[in-house]
Chains A and B, each alone.
Chain A
Amino acid sequence: MQTNRRNFLKLTAAAGGAAMTPFAWATRADAQGLETMVVASGQTINSLDLHRTGTNRASYQVAINCYDRLVGFGSRQLPTGEMSYDYDTIVPELAESWTISDDGLVFTFTLKPDATFTDGSPVTAADVKWSFDRAVSVGGFPSTQMRAGGFFRPDQFEVVDDQTFVLRLDYPSKLSLPNLAVPVPFIINSKVAIANATEADPWAMEYLHTTTAGSGAYTVTRWDQGQQIVYDRNDGWVGGPVPEIPRVIMREVPNNSTRRALIERGDVQVSFDIPDRDASELVGTVDVFSTPIENCIHCACLNTKFEPFQDPEVRKAIAHAIPYEAIFQSAAYGRGAPMWGGPTEITDTAWPRPFPYATDMDKAREHLEASSFASGFPVQMSISLDLASWMEPTALLIQESLGQLGITTTVERIPGANWRTVALVDKSLDFHLENFGGWLNTPDYYFFWAYQKDRLFNSSNYDNEEVHELTEQTLHMSMDDPEWAPLVKKMFQIVIDDLPRIPLYQPALNVAVNGASGYEFWFHRQLDPRRMTGV
């Protein structure tokens, strides 16, 4: 099935076939009109401009709702029946069609001729270039994300004429096209932005921080920082089918109990990103969607700098001693997907995948006795206070279980503002919990961030030359390449044996809906109201 979708992607790209694209979400005939959708969210929006330094995750939704990209992702039904975006289907947004040169280095996009910004001016290739130049130049997160797709410098972007935009790569990569559909490379009305830029602020960061200048499905008509953001529909949107809901109000409600009361009473239609516990208890009362977050795994990490963890038998002992089921039930309330007890033989390239370890104290003891630390050892286990809701119960359960082996753990709680520095930058935590998730949904992308030497999320200091090489080889290789799958399976096998990270479970993004429909999961973990409808 996956291969079919991928072939299809190629077909549409080659044929430039915008008309054939399946808008799976466009066919909901039974939907009744919903004039205003109110969404309660615990997060606060701190900028209307994703490119600004310090813009938080919740603010990405503005880039999604109020701006367009050249391309977007299609949607598909998950095996559970829930809807999700589809990583393997790239659909046009501002681009009407595109071609990719045979060597995979030159992308030529033709823009939709009728695309206009909300001020009425047409969207031109110059706007695309200005926006991409901005994303690679401003530094910080947007530039890092652009680099993942192979976009490094402004000279890679070229305006041919008003409708034609060319993108040149230094090397062909399967990540380039999907990376154009993530929130970062959104297209800004460069005329408006330049008019509001100053010498000190050539990219109009000040202006776009509080005002949107896009061509997206919605515009921000009101933003009360710390309270609410109000989106009104852009009826002239050409990036996709015009949304059904004319107005969306996002209210910030920090308290989980309050949000729960609001959704149960039906005063809000969506309560976004609710705790696992509320999700499990709300089932049956309102519609609850718990979608395992793609390419994201909650892990227990063993730092290779810590002497006992250099012994493979110790690592195996720990992998067998972790009480997976208890953790999954008490930290995640059964929401998400188990990552233990998988098959020993690797026959597919699914990722995240359950590792072939399960709770078995006898096996754990055998492994520990075979190691040079048969009588156990003391170790400090670190958790982040920002993520205490799952890390705290997980750490306590692991602590109890390892205690039976003679491995005595003390739990150290690190403040959120400090966590990243000690865990990811200094990589100085011996035993800790970690939750990396990659936006681009390929295993090699996860390996790039979490298993390659010195990468940010490789908090275990894992250093395996073969894995490093395999990741380099597979990262940009097409997934249809016959070489890809065997190489990826080899990578899997090595890290399953080496165990620098022990997967616990795949977390879920929980959303409660009461009085609306058409919810779809997105990798960026924000609500996409463009495809939502009334009941």
Chain B
Amino acid sequence: MAGRTRAIGMRLAQTVPVIIGVIVISFILTRALPGDPAVYFAGAMADAESIQQVREALGLDKPLVTQFFLYVGDLAQGDLGRSISTGQPVLTDLAARLPASLELTLSALVLSCLIAIPLGVLAAVRQGSWVDHLCRVLVTAGVSLPTFFTGILLVYVFYYLLGWAPSPLGRLDFIYFEPPRVTGFYLVDSLIAGDLETFAATLRQLTLPTITLALFTLAPIARMTRAAMLQALSSDYIRTARAAGLSRGKILFGYGLRNALLPVVTTLGMVFSFVLGANVLVEKVFAWPGIGSYAVEALVASDYAAVQGFVLAMAFLFVTLNLIIDLSYALIDPRIGFDTK
């Protein structure tokens, strides 16, 4: 156990250079963007004098090196700076928007795992059967349909034509008030507050965007499950287990699936990090106040603090995620121990 703690400590220590690298690179890259924020924010009618006033107000008249050290100094105090386009501290913006994205991404991943893993297992077990074909169709469709298209299609059918889904107006219809903030996840917060009506409303708003994203993430997970399962089932230990007369369930789930889970969890981690940043289009279609659209708008406006804050938050998230995945490897497969590293 002490070995594991030390190993985790080592892993955490290894992330420090990564974070430092991210800070430096995001600072340099944002400055390298075309466009001048002072000009942008001074407005269309601004003259040279007012642009200069804005430049000084934003602290952009100082040399780059000074700007960098000011930024790092603020960062050390937990201050990510202030977004010029929203006018709020970047930390506040991220705190408001990250849970929205996380709630959507996590629900989509849960949904897609619930479908993709059983589907992949079945497809592997009954190779060539209708389940296998269904799996193939779903996977192909999921990969080939862009999310904004699926999103608009779902809105068109379930909201516009059938009227089953609520108005695609973000996380909550305007007749409800958002639940008292604890985690920022409306589903969780409304349950904590014991407000079942808001919970149901949140769930209704979540349904279409979740399905959209789940369709997209289903493909890699189902494919990976199927492939890993096929490999596991054709391996020696499964043959041995069969020969030993173990029950079918025990062989499939106890030996087959458990061994197949490693690549699936790896894929899951990759899909999660990819989707969190890449669901801008889904956010736009469903007016979802998430972090993807925030980052894109900040980029367009050359809003340095917001872009850097976003990159940094994502870096932290990925580092944490990778750590969790590494730890879960050890849980899934005892042969992967931390002690040996």
**Chain A residues within CB distance 8 Å of chain B:** 38, 40, 44, 46-47, 52-56, 139-141, 143-145, 209-210, 224-228, 230, 249, 251-255, 257-258, 261-262, 264-265, 267-268, 386, 415-418, 420-421, 425, 456
* Residues of chain B with a CB closer than 8 A to A262's CB: 167-169
Q: Smallest Cβ distance from A193 to chain B, in angstroms?
A: 17
Say yes or no: B287 contacts A258, CB within 8 Å. Answer: yes
Q: For the complex, is B195 an interface residue (Cβ under 8 Å from A)?
A: no
Q: Which of B36, B40, B47, B87 has the most CB of A within 10 A?
A: B87
Whether a CB of chain A sits under 8 angstroms from the CB of B28 is: no
Give A525 to B221 CA distance when docked, in angstroms: 48
Give Cα A420–Cα B37 distance, bound, in whole angstroms. 11
The answer to whether B86 and A417 touch across the interface, beta carbons within 8 angstroms, is: no
On whether A228 and B163 interact (CB within 8 A), knowing A139-B53, A417-B300, A418-B34, the answer reads no
Add 18 more A-B contacts to A254-B293, A255-B286, A416-B35 (CB < 8 A): A53-B53, A53-B84, A140-B42, A141-B45, A141-B46, A209-B87, A226-B96, A226-B293, A226-B294, A228-B170, A251-B169, A255-B287, A268-B167, A386-B300, A416-B300, A417-B37, A417-B40, A425-B39
Cβ distance B216 to chain A, nearest Cβ, rounded Å: 17
Q: Which of these binds chain A: B153-161, B255-263, B328-336?
A: B153-161
The residue among A225, A265, A416 with the most chain B CB atoms within 10 A of its own CB is A225
Chain B: CB-nearest residue to A144: B45
CA distance A139 to B54 in the complex (A): 8
Q: State A421–B37 Cα separation when bound (angstroms).
A: 10
Please determine whether B294 and A249 come into contact, CB atoms closer than 8 angstroms.
Answer: no
Q: Are B34 and A144 in contact (CB under 8 A)?
A: no
Q: At the interface, yes or no: B204 with Cβ under 8 Å from chain A?
A: no
B43 in the interface, Cβ–Cβ < 8 Å? yes
B50 sits at the interface (CB 8 A): yes
Measured between beta carbons, the chain B residues less than 8 angstroms from A456 are 44-47
Residue of B34, B37, B87, B156 touching A47 (CB-CB under 8 A): B87
B159 proximity list for chain A (CB < 8 A): 261, 265
- Expressed in whole angstroms, the Cα–Cα distance for A141 and B47 within the complex equals 9
Report yes or no: A253 in contact with B169, Cβ–Cβ below 8 A.
Answer: yes
For A267, the chain B residues whose CB sits under 8 A away are 167, 169
Bound together, the chains give a CA A420 to CA B54 distance in angstroms of 15
In the complex, per-residue mask of B165-184: 1 if CB is within 8 Å of any chain A CB, else 0: 00111110010000000000
Q: A140-B54, A456-B47 are in contact. Are A38 and B285 (CB under 8 A)?
A: no
B225 within 8 A of A: no
Q: Which residues of A contact B37 (CB under 8 A)?
A: 417
A417–B298 Cα gap in the complex (Å)? Answer: 11
**Distance, CA A445 to CA B168, complexed state (A):** 43
Q: Roughly how many angstroms separate A259 CA and B280 CA in the complex, as a whole number?
A: 17
CB atoms of B39 and A420 under 8 A apart = yes
Q: Does B203 contact A (CB under 8 A)?
A: no
Residue-wise, chain B 30-63 has the 8 Å CB interface mask toward A (1 for contact) of: 0001111101111111110110011001100000
Measured in the bound complex, the distance between the Cα atoms of B264 and A133 in whole Å is: 64
**A-B pair number, CB within 8 angstroms:** 138
Known contacts A46-B87, A261-B160, A264-B160; decide if A141 and B297 are in contact (CB<8 Å).
no
Closest beta carbon of chain A to B242's beta carbon, Å: 53
Q: Is B11 an interface residue (CB 8 A)?
A: no
For residue B97, CB closer than 8 A to chain A, the reply is: yes
7 contacts between A and B (CB under 8 A): A139-B54, A224-B289, A225-B86, A226-B96, A262-B167, A420-B40, A456-B46
Is the pair A251, B174 in contact by a Cβ cutoff of 8 Å?
Answer: yes
Secondary structure dominating the interface of A: mixed
Within 8 Å of chain A (Cβ to Cβ): is B302? yes
> Out of B35, B45, B57, B87, which one reaches A421, CB within 8 Å?
B35
A260 to chain B, nearest CB (A): 9
The interface residues of chain B lying within 8 Å CB-to-CB of A38 are: 174
Min CB–CB distance B260 → chain A (angstroms): 39
Q: Does B284 contact A (CB under 8 A)?
A: yes
Say whether B285 contacts A53, CB under 8 Å.
no
- Cβ of B85 within 8 Å of any chain A Cβ, yes or no, is yes
Query: Are A143 and B50 interface neighbours, CB within 8 A?
Result: yes
Q: Are B174 and A228 in contact (CB under 8 A)?
A: yes
A186, chain B: closest CB distance, angstroms: 16
Closest Cβ of chain B to A258, distance in Å, is 5
Report the minimum CB–CB distance from B68 to chain A (whole Å).
21
From A417, which residue of chain B is reached at the shortest CB distance? B35
A53 and B42 in contact, given A44-B297, A47-B87, A417-B300 (Cβ under 8 angstroms):
yes
In the bound assembly, the distance between CA atoms of A154 and B210 in angstroms comes to: 55
Closest to A257 in B: B152
Shortest CB–CB separation between residue B228 and chain A, in angstroms? 37
List the 9 shortest-distance A-B pairs measured between CB atoms, nearest first.
A417-B35, A141-B43, A139-B53, A54-B41, A418-B34, A253-B287, A267-B167, A261-B160, A54-B84
Q: Please tell me if B301 contacts chain A, counting CB pairs below 8 Å.
A: yes
CB distance A53 to B57 under 8 Å? yes
Taking a contact as CB atoms under 8 Å apart, the answer to whether A257 and B54 are in contact is: no
Minimum distance in angstroms from A229 CB to a CB of chain B: 11
Chain A residues near B174 (CB, 8 Å)?
A: 38, 228, 230, 249, 251
What 0/1 pattern do residues 281 to 323 of B give for CB contact below 8 A with A? 0001111010001100100111000000000000000000000
B235 within 8 Å of A (CB atoms):
no
Q: Is B14 an interface residue (CB 8 A)?
A: no
Instruction: Return chain B residues, CB-CB under 8 Å to A415.
Output: 34-35, 300
B155 touches A261 (CB 8 A): yes
Check if B267 is an interface residue, CB within 8 A of chain A. Answer: no
State the CA gap A180–B44 with chains docked (Å): 20
